[in-house]
Amino acid sequence: MLEQVISSEVDACRVLLDQLADKWTFTVFLALRDQPHRFNELRRRVPGITQKALTQSLRRLERNGMVSRRIVETAPPGVEYSVSAIGKSMSEPLDVLAQWAVRQLPSILAAQAQFDSRPESHAHSDAADLADYDTVTVRSRF
C-beta separation of 29 from 20 below 8 A: yes
CB burial class (10 A; 0-12, 13-18, 19+) of residue 19? Answer: middle
Domain 1-83: top CATH class: mainly alpha
How much is the pLDDT for 18?
Answer: 86
How much is the pLDDT for 127?
Answer: 44
CB burial class (10 A; 0-12, 13-18, 19+) of residue 79? Answer: exposed
What is the residue-level pLDDT of the chain in tens, covering all 142 positions? 556 556 778 888 888 888 888 889 989 999 999 999 999 999 999 999 999 999 999 999 999 999 999 999 988 889 999 999 999 999 888 889 889 999 999 999 999 999 988 887 665 555 456 666 655 444 445 5
C-beta separation of 142 from 102 below 8 A: yes
C-beta separation of 78 from 38 below 8 A: yes
CB burial class (10 A; 0-12, 13-18, 19+) of residue 127? Answer: exposed
pTM over 0.85: no
Say how many CA atoms lie within 13 Å of 93 toward its Cβ.
9
CA triplet 56, 29, 45: central angle to 5 degrees? 85
How much is the pLDDT for 21?
Answer: 83
**N- to C-terminal Cα distance for the chain?**
42
Annotated domain spans of the chain: 1-83, 85-142
Residue 108 CB neighbours (<10 A): 13
